[in-house]
Chains A and B, each alone.
Chain A
Amino acid sequence: MIVDFFLTNRPLWAVLISLVAAGLILLSDRRPNLRETITMLAAVGKFVIVLTMLPDVLAGQVVESAPLKLAPGISLHLRADALGLLFALLSSGLWVVTSVYSIGYMRSMKYGHETGYYASFAVCLSAAVGIALAANLLTFFVFYEILTIATYPLVVHARTPEAVSGGRKYLVYTLTAGQLLLIAVVWAQVVAPGAEFRPGGFLAGRITPPALDIMFILFILGLGVKAAIMPLHDWLPTAMVAPTPVSALLHAVAVVKAGAFGFLRITGYVFGPELLKETNLGSLLAWIAALTIIVASLRALAEDNLKRRLAYSTVGQLSYVVLGAALITPMSLVGGMFHIVAHAFMKITLFFCAGAIYVTTHKENVSEMDGIGRQMPLTMGAFTLGSLGIVGMPFVVGFVSKWNLGLGALQAGHPIFVAVLVASALLSTGYFFPIVYKAYFGQTRETYSRHEAKPSLLYPLVLTALVSLVLGIMPNFGLSFYQLAKMAAKSIIASGMVLAGGGQ
């Protein structure tokens, strides 16, 4: 009985565990060892809970927790389907790695007020998994807004005037987006009571253009800020004033991916392929994404600050996911979904490297990186691997998603987007190659002895770099990310076929 209760409500426990941890962390104020232990326990516990759902979902089942009514006709409802589990596995798994890194990084930086940091981090992860497992729009929105608020203390963590103003900018962007998203969500609830996500969408036949167009644009604006599509991206580079673990997990994985993931949910599970094709709204979104990919890559070329360069790279890469969601063909969906995973491993590696370099040498600008590869060979090795992945070299994980995206673009009959992908690959070579070159071959007057980052910083980044390599060769290794992406894409497209067939 009790076992059943635990097993059926696993999605709920996955969300709650880090929320409870956040409370405990706040209570253990001024006892660093205790709060770090709680963080590690919660991270591992969360990952294990999410992991236990994997076999069920791979077997084609859906793990669903009992809905808690929030309002008449709509409830707080969590459900692990293939797409949701992919994102939940990814963020909870990387939280474990990031926690190790966090502890090393924060102890080196000596900010002196880490309790709020660890608590907010835990709340963010609750929200991210909540977003992943949300079964309807209201649940999605609730966690989306919790994520918005919980990230704010992390952005302003340094408490410098620069951090405070970065935090303000972050709030202006995300809160405005939140209100637009709220209107869209309420509207969808009025049009289709319950607003339950369904593969292939639930809006078909319930709403017609022009209202449909406006609603879709509201969704784009609401989700576009977190997904950092241009011109709504500007908060992200500014938010790089946050401590590096925050940039690594939240500004490369949980927060920004929540936006990109939202796009997949909206196109695949709310509007559906048919509706998007009929109304050309899909192409509109695809063009926005394409534009973002190119402009962000160009912008990254001009940044000297390493973290900001990575941020612009993130802006561009996120739109790969959005592009996949917008094209909404079987291959593009697989590409987009898998890119959530691929980019996460590559970018978290890159950010970890940036943080490790900063802690060890206090250098944060690309122009100061001469010879750093001779000083920190393992760190720069990982960095090089991550860069190659972003560029899209075969046998690194980024290639898998880009290949699928390219095929998806051809499937959709828009070969132009293949050109966009190629151009982006060249541009990312342009902004990563100089760093790698300087690191290994840059001339300096100082002589460096070999001096790696400390183990708690080094091991996580080596691990994520290795994972990007392994997933590039065997995309299904370990957690079956590729399989999950394929299942989710299939469910969206298959139901679309059924709908189309029923109409004839």
Chain B
Amino acid sequence: MTAHLPALIVISPLAIALLLPVLVRLSAELVRVVAITSALISFTSSIGALKYALAKGNWHYFFGGWPAPWGIEYVIDPLAGGMAVLVSFFSLLVIIYAGPYLVNKPAREKGYFYTLYLLLTAGLLGIVVTGDVFNLYVFLEISSLAAYALIASGGHRATVAAFRYLLIGTAAASFYLLGIGYLYAITGSLNMADLSELLPPLMDSRAVVIAVALIVIGLGIKMALFPLHGWLPDAYSYAPAPVIGFIAAVMAKVSAYALYRVLYFVLKATGPVSLALDVMGWMAAAGILFGSIMAILQRDFWRMLAYSSVAQMCYIALGISLANTMGLFGALLHILNHAVTKGCLFLVAGSVNWQTGVREIHRFVKMSRRMPLTMGAFIIAALSMIGLPPTAGFFSKWYLVLGAIQSGAWAFVIVLALSSLLTAVYFFRIIEHAYFKEPLKGKDGQRHATEPAKEGWELYPTMLVPILILGIGILALGILSEQVITHLLQFALPWRAF
């Protein structure tokens, strides 16, 4: 069994997903248990695989015993292993969180939800562990299709958002497919390791130039890199809460990972890639400012978080574009930190909406009384988004600023500093409402969250515990960020860090 851990990471959710529509006819409760078990198997396999990779070097797993470059190869290096742990962790956490949401839904809908959710998980994990650029495309499509359907399940406005996402996302996947098509045409290979050996003499050929452009645009859309972010705000604001908790935490990051993998490990960041990186850097800088300003203008908490994601994904892109050790540390650390932080924020948003029906920022008045622990986690997450020590967000920013100063990119330094201030504006607005504002008396009869907390828990434990785990995780990741760097991320760079 342990010899097949890399396969198990993906197979477990994929196979169970196909089984669930049948199981749901037997018992809806069983479906939930099986789905959680499958996410758990995936999570433990990821940890096992990562441990192996850190202890004994990269794990090459040949699917069906067919050696690369003919067969499909899964590669667990520290980078892929780390990402797999991150993705499967969130999959597990949010699937538990989703329980109360589905309580009153008919059994069939529960079956659909868990099926699609596990397909999404399988797709994202597949992108992470595969060592084959075409296989990556297949998993990209699996995850995207599952995501379209999940988002559409949120109701009428969500359907429109999902359809728009589908159109843009399909175009993005096509761009990516065309890009690897060009690479295949000149090298005859789809295996990443193989490609990275065959490509260097061809780096300046026109085919590679076009391929790089297509891949950057394709994956840029998927990771919502400004100005290719158009699908994101609607999709994030209208999707059902448990779905968005998972999608916002890891989905765009997996695309960022794919981009990083292709640009640095397959194309070795040479030739036309360095130009692409320069362009990406400026797009990211513009996107950070754009996303932050748009977030300030929002009145809906979810939409504000969505625009904040646009800005934060650009942090990652900015780090990748710096192409030095500190910049890449910043980008990789921010993939982790932002996943935990934004995951926490969307779970908070979902819980607040679920418990009190509140989405608009001005109705957050006195929320701190109603849901003290939830809002406590929110404050930690907000400070992390702003980038204040000792939260996780500060440390990714520390490396990004360090990387930017090392490459003399002072414009980026200013953008990063400015972005923290803009982020502070929109998060402190909520803190002000939730903690320090008195409710307006009797104004247009709007329901505020002023009623004191109900008896017992402020929230179902299955919803509250994931939020608290993430809240504490943000502080822990901040204080232990050096451990993450030395034990994991320094092996996830394309070159030796120290």
- B486 to A: closest C-beta gap in Å: 7
- Residues of B near A498 (CB, < 8 A) are none
- Residues of A near B395 (CB, < 8 A) are 70-71
Using CB atoms, name the residue of chain B closest to A164.
Answer: B436
The tally of CB-CB contacts under 8 A between chains A and B is 77
Within 8 A of A (CB), among B453-488: 479, 481-483, 485-486
- Residues of A near B23 (CB, < 8 A) are none
Q: Is A72 an interface residue (CB 8 A)?
A: yes
Interface on chain B toward A: helix, strand, loop, or mixed SS?
helix
Q: Which of A68, A156, A171, A190 is within 8 Å of B424, CB to CB?
A: A171
Among B27-35, B98-106, B349-357, B397-405, the stretch in contact with A: B397-405
- Residues of B near A75 (CB, < 8 A) are 482
Query: B405 contacts A186, CB within 8 Å?
Result: yes
Given the contacts A149-B383, A189-B402, A71 and B481 also touching, CB distance less than 8 Å: yes
Given the contacts A176-B421, A180-B417, A71 and B436 also touching, CB distance less than 8 Å: no
Within 8 A of B (CB), among A183-198: 183, 186-187, 189-190
Q: Is B437 an interface residue (CB 8 A)?
A: yes
Query: B389 contacts A142, CB within 8 Å?
Result: yes
- Residues of B near A141 (CB, < 8 A) are 389
- Residues of A near B435 (CB, < 8 A) are 116, 153
- Residues of B near A164 (CB, < 8 A) are 432, 436-437
Query: B485 contacts A146, CB within 8 Å?
Result: no
Q: Which of B390, B437, B481 is within 8 Å of A159, CB to CB?
A: B437
Query: B406 contacts A183, CB within 8 Å?
Result: no
- Residues of B near A163 (CB, < 8 A) are 436
* Distance between Cα atoms of A180 and B421 in the complex (Å): 11
Given the contacts A146-B389, A179-B421, A72 and B485 also touching, CB distance less than 8 Å: yes
* Distance between Cα atoms of A231 and B437 in the complex (Å): 30
- Residues of B near A148 (CB, < 8 A) are 388
Query: B482 contacts A72, CB within 8 Å?
Result: yes
Q: Give the size range of A's interface with the partner.
A: 20 to 34
- A253 to B: closest C-beta gap in Å: 22
- Residues of B near A156 (CB, < 8 A) are 432, 436
Q: Is A182 an interface residue (CB 8 A)?
A: yes
Q: Is B107 an interface residue (CB 8 A)?
A: no
* Distance between Cα atoms of A71 and B388 in the complex (Å): 15
Given the contacts A71-B485, A186-B402, A186-B405, A175 and B389 also touching, CB distance less than 8 Å: no
Q: Is B498 an interface residue (CB 8 A)?
A: yes
Query: A142 contacts B402, CB within 8 Å?
Result: no
Q: Is B495 an interface residue (CB 8 A)?
A: no
* Distance between Cα atoms of A3 and B438 in the complex (Å): 50
- Residues of A near B479 (CB, < 8 A) are 68, 70
Q: Is B420 an interface residue (CB 8 A)?
A: yes
Q: Is B213 an interface residue (CB 8 A)?
A: no
Given the contacts A179-B420, A183-B401, A183-B417, A159 and B485 also touching, CB distance less than 8 Å: no
- Residues of B near A262 (CB, < 8 A) are none
* Distance between Cα atoms of A149 and B482 in the complex (Å): 24
- B169 to A: closest C-beta gap in Å: 36
Query: A142 contacts B390, CB within 8 Å?
Result: yes
* Distance between Cα atoms of A488 and B421 in the complex (Å): 36
- B367 to A: closest C-beta gap in Å: 14
Output the residue of A156, A159, A167, A178 with the most chain B CB within 10 A. A178
Q: Is B66 an interface residue (CB 8 A)?
A: no
* Distance between Cα atoms of A69 and B483 in the complex (Å): 8
| B-contact bits for A124-168, CB 8 A (1 contact / 0 none) | 000000000000001001100110110001001001000110011
- Residues of B near A179 (CB, < 8 A) are 417-418, 420-421
- A121 to B: closest C-beta gap in Å: 16
- B52 to A: closest C-beta gap in Å: 25
* Distance between Cα atoms of A450 and B417 in the complex (Å): 56
Query: A175 contacts B485, CB within 8 Å?
Result: no
Q: Which of A153, A171, A182, A190 is within 8 Å of B417, CB to CB?
A: A182
Within 8 A of A (CB), among B259-305: none
Query: A69 contacts B437, CB within 8 Å?
Result: no
Query: B398 contacts A186, CB within 8 Å?
Result: yes
- Residues of B near A142 (CB, < 8 A) are 389-390, 394
- Residues of A near B420 (CB, < 8 A) are 175, 179
* Distance between Cα atoms of A176 and B479 in the complex (Å): 24
Query: B482 contacts A70, CB within 8 Å?
Result: yes
- A128 to B: closest C-beta gap in Å: 15
Query: A145 contacts B389, CB within 8 Å?
Result: yes
Q: Is B63 an interface residue (CB 8 A)?
A: no
Given the contacts A71-B485, A179-B417, A145 and B402 also touching, CB distance less than 8 Å: no
- B54 to A: closest C-beta gap in Å: 18
Q: Which of A71, A149, A167, A171 is within 8 Å of B398, CB to CB?
A: A71
- Residues of B near A182 (CB, < 8 A) are 397, 401, 417
Query: B437 contacts A187, CB within 8 Å?
Result: no
Using CB atoms, name the residue of chain A closest to B404.
Answer: A186
Query: A183 contacts B413, CB within 8 Å?
Result: yes
Query: B401 contacts A186, CB within 8 Å?
Result: yes
Within 8 A of A (CB), among B365-411: 383, 386, 388-390, 394-395, 397-399, 401-402, 405-406
Query: B436 contacts A167, CB within 8 Å?
Result: yes
* Distance between Cα atoms of A183 and B421 in the complex (Å): 13
- Residues of A near B406 (CB, < 8 A) are 190
Using CB atoms, name the residue of chain B closest to A156.
Answer: B436
* Distance between Cα atoms of A189 and B406 in the complex (Å): 10
- Residues of A near B389 (CB, < 8 A) are 141-142, 145-146
- Residues of A near B421 (CB, < 8 A) are 175-176, 179
- A114 to B: closest C-beta gap in Å: 14
Using CB atoms, name the residue of chain B closest to A181.
Answer: B417
Within 8 A of B (CB), among A68-103: 68-72, 75
| A-contact bits for B485-497, CB 8 A (1 contact / 0 none) | 1100000000000
Output the residue of B389, B424, B482 with the most chain A CB within 10 A. B389
Given contacts A75-B482, A183-B401, 12 further A-B contacts (CB under 8 A): A69-B482, A71-B398, A72-B486, A72-B498, A142-B389, A148-B388, A153-B435, A176-B421, A179-B420, A183-B417, A190-B402, A190-B405
Report 17 cross-chain contacts, Cβ distance below 8 Å, ordered by A residue: A70-B481, A71-B482, A72-B482, A72-B498, A145-B388, A153-B435, A153-B436, A156-B436, A167-B432, A167-B436, A171-B424, A182-B397, A183-B405, A186-B402, A189-B402, A190-B402, A190-B405
Q: Which residues does B use to contact A, with CB under 8 Å?
A: 383, 386, 388-390, 394-395, 397-399, 401-402, 405-406, 413, 417-418, 420-421, 424, 428, 432, 435-438, 479, 481-483, 485-486, 498
The 8 nearest A-B residue pairs measured at CB: A179-B417, A142-B389, A69-B482, A186-B401, A156-B436, A190-B405, A145-B389, A145-B388
Q: Which residues does A use to contact B, with CB under 8 Å?
A: 68-72, 75, 116, 138, 141-142, 145-146, 148-149, 153, 156, 159, 163-164, 167-168, 171, 175-176, 178-180, 182-183, 186-187, 189-190
